[in-house]
Amino acid sequence: MDLEPARFRRLILLCTDCEKRDDGPKGLAAKAALRQLKHLAADGPTKVKLLRTRCMGLCPRKAMAAVVCGEGLAPATAELSKDSELEALAHAASAR
C-alpha cells in the first residue's frame, strides 16, 4: 500500500444525521452549513478539507456535531446551533 501526503492541513467533520433527529438544530441544515464553512475556511491561510459524516456518536441537543483536527491543532469537538458558530469554527480550523 502506498501512502501519499494529504493536500490539506486541517479537517472538519460535520455530522449530517444531527439535522434528521427530532431534537436536532432548528434552522441549520448540514448541506448549507457545509457550503458556508467551505466559503469561510477558504479565506484562511491554512488549507481545510470539509467532510460530511454519518453519526459520530456525539449527538448534542438542538445542535449539529462537528470535529476539527489536523496539523498543529488538538482534536476538538463543537456543537453548532447558529450560523455565527460556523464562522468561529471556520476561523479556528483555518488559523495558523
Q: Quick one: pLDDT at residue 74?
A: 92
Q: Quick one: pLDDT at residue 2?
A: 93
Q: Residue 79 forms beta bridges with which residues?
A: 65
Residue 5 lies in a domain: no
- Distance (Å) of CA 22 to CA 25, 30, 44, 60, 68: 9, 15, 34, 12, 25
Residue 41 lies in a domain: yes
Containing structural domain, residue 38 = 14-94
Residue 18 lies in a domain: yes
Instruction: State mean pLDDT over 14-23.
Output: 89
Q: Give the total number of structural domains in the chain.
A: 1
Q: Quickly state the pLDDT bin for 64 (edges 50, 70, 90).
A: very high
Residue 58 lies in a domain: yes
Q: Quick one: pLDDT at residue 9?
A: 92
pLDDT tens by residue, 47-60: 999 999 999 999 99
Residue 4 lies in a domain: no
On whether the pTM is more than 0.75, the answer is: yes
